[in-house]
Amino acid sequence: MRFGILLLALIALCSVVGSVIPQERGAAWYAQNYTAIHAYLLMLGLDHVFRGWFFVTLLVLLCVNLSLCSIVRIRSVVKAGEELLPRTAKLPDAEALTADGVELVRGYLTSIRCKCNDFGEVSVYSKNLFGRYGSFITHLAILLTVLFGAAALYSPTVIDQSCLPGESLTMTDGVEIAVRDFHIENELGELDFESVLRVKLPDGRESDWRAVSVNHPLSFGSYKIYQQTYGTAGSITVRNTANGGEDVFTLTEPCFLTADGVNGLWYEALYPGYVRDADGNFTLITSTSGSYDDPVYQLLLASDGEYTPVLAFPGEDLTVGEMQYVFNAPVEYPGLRIKHTPPLVNALLVFAFCLMIAGLYITFFMQPVLVKLDGEGYTVSGPKPEGIRMEIRLLLEQKGE
Whether residue 373 lies inside any domain: the answer is: no
- Residue 289 pLDDT: 82
Residue 26 above 80 pLDDT? no
Same domain, 239 and 325: yes
> For residues 330 and 232, is the Cβ–Cβ distance under 8 A?
yes
Q: What are phi and psi of 329, to 5 degrees?
A: -65, 145
- Other beta carbons within 10 angstroms of residue 53's beta carbon come to 8
Around Cβ 58, how many Cβ atoms within 10 Å?
20
366: phi then psi, degrees, rounded to nearest 5: -130, 55
pLDDT value of position 372: 94
One domain, residues 324 and 188: no
Beta strand ranges found along 101-164 (DSSP E) = 115-119, 122-127, 157-162
Residue percentage of the chain with pLDDT more than 70: 100
Q: Are residues 317 and 338 in the same domain?
A: no
β-partners of residue 303 are: 306
Lowest mean pLDDT of 33-37, 124-128, 266-270, 279-283, name the range. Answer: 279-283
* Domain presence at residue 54: no
Higher-confidence position of 2 and 91: 91
333: pLDDT confidence band, cut at 50, 70 and 90? very high
Q: Is the pLDDT reported for residue 24 higher than 90?
A: no
pLDDT class of 305 with cuts at 50, 70, 90: confident
- In this structure, the answer to whether residues 338 and 208 fall within a common structural domain is yes
**Structural domain contains residue 197:** yes
246 belongs to a structural domain: yes
Q: Residues near 97 by Cβ (< 8 Å), separated by ≥ 6?
A: 105, 376, 377, 378, 396, 401
Neighbours of 229 (CB within 10 A): 13
In degrees rounded to 5, what are phi and psi of residue 82?
A: -65, -30
**Taking CA 207 as the corner, what is the angle to CA 183 and CA 179, rounded to the nearest 5 degrees?**
30
CA distance readout (Å), 111 to 100, 131, 141, 381: 16, 20, 34, 19
pLDDT at position 399 is 80
Residues 238 and 254 in one domain: yes
- Residue that finishes a domain, picked among 303, 330, 357: 330
What confidence tens digit (pLDDT) does each residue in 139-168 have? Answer: 889 889 888 988 888 888 989 999 999 999
Find out whether 200 and 210 touch, Cβ atoms under 8 Å: no
CA 380 to chain centre: 48
Does one domain contain both 320 and 339?
no
Query: pLDDT confidence of 256, banded at 50, 70, 90?
Result: very high
Query: Looking at this protein, which amino acid is placed at residue 347?
Result: A
Domain tally for the chain? 2
Which residue range is the domain that position 259 belongs to?
A: 234-330
**DSSP-derived secondary structure letter, 206:** B
When pLDDT is averaged across residues 351-379 and rounded to a whole number, the result is 93
Rounded Cα distance between 166 and 389, Å, is 71
Residue 136 lies in a domain: no
Please state the rounded mean pLDDT for residues 202-222.
92
- Residue 1 is predicted with a pLDDT of 76
**Are both 226 and 290 inside the same structural domain?**
no
Name 267's Cβ contacts closer than 8 Å, sequence gap at least 6: 234, 236, 251, 254, 255, 256, 257, 297, 299
Number of helical (H) and strand (E) elements in the chain, helices listed first = 8, 22
**Same domain assignment for residues 187 and 302:** no
pLDDT at residue 287, rounded to an integer = 83
* Residue 15 resides in a domain: no
- Please tell me whether residues 208 and 220 are part of one structural domain: yes
Confidence band of 299 (pLDDT split at 50, 70, 90): very high
261 shares its domain with 325: yes
The answer to the question of residue 134 being in a domain is no
* C-alpha–C-alpha distance, residues 338 and 170, integer Å: 11
Name the pLDDT band for 80 (thresholds 50, 70, 90). Answer: confident
Query: What pLDDT shows up at residue 297?
Result: 95
pLDDT at residue 401 tops 80? no
Q: Is the pLDDT of residue 280 over 80?
A: no
Going by pLDDT thresholds of 50, 70 and 90, the confidence category of residue 279 is confident
pLDDT-based confidence at residue 81 (cuts at 50, 70, 90): confident
pLDDT for 68 beyond 90: no
* 172 shares its domain with 294: no
Flag whether 364 is in a domain.
Answer: no
Which one of 68-82, 272-286, 353-367 scores highest in mean pLDDT? 353-367
Q: Which of 320, 343, 366 is the last residue of a domain?
A: 343
State which H helix or E strand residue 41 sits in. helix 38-44
What is the average per-residue pLDDT within 2-28? 87
- Give every CB contact of residue 188 below 8 A, 6+ residues apart in sequence: none
Candidates 190, 252, 183; CA nearest to 212 is 183
pLDDT class of 275 with cuts at 50, 70, 90 = confident
Q: Give me the pLDDT at residue 189, please.
A: 84
- For the entire predicted model, the pTM comes to 0.65
Instruction: Please state the rounded mean pLDDT for residues 58-87.
Output: 84
Residue 89 has pLDDT above 80, yes or no: yes
Residues ≥6 apart with Cβ < 8 Å to 246: 237, 238, 239, 240
Q: What angle do CA 345, 136, 371 make, to 5 degrees?
A: 145
CA–CA separation, 87 and 109 (whole Å): 19
Query: For the chain, what is the radius of gyration of the CA atoms?
Result: 36
Do 189 and 262 share a domain, yes or no?
A: no
Q: What angle do CA 87, 91, 96 make, to 5 degrees?
A: 150
